[in-house]
Structure 1
Amino acid sequence: PLSLSLSLSPRMAANRTLYDILQIKNDATINEIRASFRKLALQLHPDKHTDEDVKETSQEQFKEVAQAYATLSDPRKREKYDQELAGGGEREGESGS
């Protein structure tokens, strides 16, 4: 059975960056981003798992990976995200209130 190495506790999830989710460095090239996304998507795709608990967890992680890829694979979105990250601004999904 596949061990879902991406499993992190919910309190840790808030501190992760999109780069962490895709398991890449902040200066990764578009090809590195694509390769990591493909690898993780294949591992985490819910249809790959029969155990319902694992399937549910993998589905949540698959969505995170897809959202991270959507941002980091788009140069304009990535630039905006990097600026927010560098400025200590709120990251995707975080709220200051």
Structure 2
Amino acid sequence: WTFGGSAIASDEQVRITPSIRSQKGWIWSKNTLSANDWLLDIKLRITGRGRVGADGMAIWFTENPGVEGSVFGSNDQWKGLGIFLDSFDNDAL
């Protein structure tokens, strides 16, 4: 795994960002996925101190290795699949 930004790994978990404004972090696999069929089974928790949430997170399956960028921490041009989880409460309702 390759970590960047404010991502921190321990034996049991990875914290992509701390609960501080304007932070971003990322984790990229160093290995390529060669399977035609796959299943993603994850346990995730998105929490923070504020009520409106943050921008969110993304899970990427791309042809090329990830690079830092403006779209949920990655480049705005990619070939592959991006799954975006937007946790920001835009209308604050």
| Bigger relative CO (Cα 8 Å, ≥ 6 apart) | 1
Calculate the TM-score normalised by the size of structure 1.
Answer: 0.27
More helix per residue: 1 or 2?
Answer: 1
Q: Normalising by structure 2, what TM-score?
A: 0.28
Q: Which has the higher strand share?
A: 2
